[in-house]
């Protein structure tokens, strides 16, 4: 797996030109606002660089939030007055401990040969599927599954599965997981939704850039074959137009529990080969109409909110494009 991944990342680097790729470790602090600390030391704004957690370090917040990149396609978002420790920073086997407060984990890609596990109040939580998970270490402790499935194992106990639309309180193990109203979302969930919009915009822009570069070099078919690693495996890639990283699938479509599509260069290629009136891709504006995409190619298409509409992205060839405050730059972000 590792050698294949490195070979594919090399092909991506050729097609993407000078794009930066996160390939070795989890723990890159992608965005933060307010007061964020590492091992009790306040993180300083270095302006043009991202900072990374080292294995064994603890990230905590006061009146602040942060977004940390874990496995490729997996984001951890931490709320106010919260903390977690990065126990293992391997991209294929990430482990962490939620120490206090609340964290939200968005898993956009989790192939069978990778894993992500959390320790929460002495119990081990294994993320089993792509999805969106909220963990609270404040007494009595709780896990909430907006989408996906987890397996929670208390010391010496039989694993308990918690699926979509259910939550489990640590003082209610005997009762098991119960339903919750998915419309009653937390502030951290809503903040994560806004972050997901920016990431989807950066992804679409980047996918078009890589596609255009590969096409100009005549490597589109060979550089991004339809088999690649299979599934939706991809990598973190830096989009300089947005000043932030985004997840780039190596083929097919990526997944977002918030309902946004993530495109690979291959899917842009497929859209370009389709008829203009059915592809949903407007080359002049760089817009992808989600409703025009074949829903069979996207396993979570039913979750797309009709009110979200199309996500318009800037033309990949226009570096002077005006972008939203994505957290990749400025006073509130970290820009490479």
Structure tokens at 169: 């309180």
Instruction: Examine residue 11 and state whether it is found in any structural domain, yes or no.
Output: no
Q: Is position 8 within any domain?
A: no
Identify the domain boundary among 179, 203, 225.
179
Q: Alpha helix (H) ranges present in the chain?
A: 2-16, 187-217, 220-223, 265-273, 276-279
Query: Which residues, listed in sequence order, are joined to residue 97 by a DSSP beta bridge?
Result: 85, 119
* pLDDT higher than threshold 80 for residue 53: yes
* Highest mean pLDDT out of 39-48, 139-148, 228-237, 304-313: 139-148
Q: What's the pLDDT score for residue 24?
A: 63
Question: Helix 187-217 crosses helix 2-16 at what angle (to 10 degrees)?
Answer: 70
Residue with tokens 């404040």: 138
202 shares a domain with 166: no
Domain that holds residue 249: 187-312
pLDDT digits (tens, 9 = 90+) for 174-219: 668 999 999 999 999 999 999 999 999 999 999 988 888 777 766 5
Select the more confidently predicted residue: 197 or 266.
Answer: 197
With contact defined as beta carbons under 8 Å apart, do 49 and 18 qualify? no
Residue 106 confidence (pLDDT) above 80: yes
CA distance 72 to 6: 13
Question: Are both 75 and 34 inside the same structural domain?
Answer: yes
How high is the pLDDT of residue 276? Answer: 54
Answer whether residue 17 is part of any domain.
Answer: no
Same domain assignment for residues 82 and 191: no
Residue 292 has pLDDT above 80, yes or no: no
Dist. CA 62–CA 220, nearest whole Å: 47
pLDDT at 13: 54
d(CA 259, CA 243): 23
Q: What percent of the chain has pLDDT over 70?
A: 68
Q: Are residues 52 and 156 in the same domain?
A: yes
- What pTM was estimated for this model as a whole? 0.77
Residue 42: CATH number of its domain:
2.60.120.1440
> How many domains, the chain?
2
Please say which residue of 129, 144, 179 terminates a domain: 179
- CB count, 10 Å around CB of 195? 21
Token pair recorded at residue 320: 């002077």
């Amino acid at each position: 797996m590792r050698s294949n991944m490195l070979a594919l990342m090399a092909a991506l680097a050729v097609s993407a030109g000078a794009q930066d790729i996160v390939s070795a470790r989890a723990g890159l602090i992608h965005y933060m606002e307010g007061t964020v600390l590492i091992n009790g030391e306040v993180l300083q704004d270095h302006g043009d660089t991202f900072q990374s957690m080292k294995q064994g370090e603890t990230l905590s917040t006061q009146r602040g939030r942060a977004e940390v990149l874990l496995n490729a396609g997996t984001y951890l978002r931490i709320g106010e007055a919260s903390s977690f420790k990065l126990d293992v920073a391997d991209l294929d086997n990430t482990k962490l401990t939620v120490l206090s407060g609340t964290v939200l984990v968005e898993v956009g890609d989790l192939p069978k040969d990778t894993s992500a596990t959390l320790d929460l109040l002495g119990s081990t939580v294994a993320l089993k599927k792509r999805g969106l998970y909220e963990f609270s270490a404040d007494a009595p402790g709780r896990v909430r599954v907006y989408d996906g499935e987890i397996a929670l194992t208390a010391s010496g106990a039989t694993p308990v599965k918690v699926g979509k639309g259910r939550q489990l309180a640590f003082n209610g193990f005997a009762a098991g997981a119960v339903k919750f109203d998915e419309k009653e979302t937390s502030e951290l969930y809503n903040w994560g939704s806004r972050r997901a919009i920016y990431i989807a915009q950066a992804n679409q822009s980047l996918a078009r850039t890589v596609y255009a570069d590969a096409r100009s070099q005549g490597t589109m078919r060979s550089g991004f074959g339809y088999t690649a690693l299979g599934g939706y495996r991809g990598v973190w890639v830096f989009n300089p137009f947005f000043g932030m990283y985004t997840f780039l699938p190596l083929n097919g479509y990526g997944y977002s529990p918030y309902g946004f599509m993530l495109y690979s260069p291959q899917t842009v290629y497929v859209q370009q080969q389709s008829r203009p009136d059915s592809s949903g891709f407007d080359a002049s504006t760089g817009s992808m109409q989600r409703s025009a995409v074949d829903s069979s190619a996207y396993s979570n298409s039913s979750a797309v909110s009709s009110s979200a509409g199309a996500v318009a992205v800037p033309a990949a060839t226009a570096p002077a494009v005006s972008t939203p405050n994505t957290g990749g730059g400025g006073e509130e972000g970290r820009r490479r």
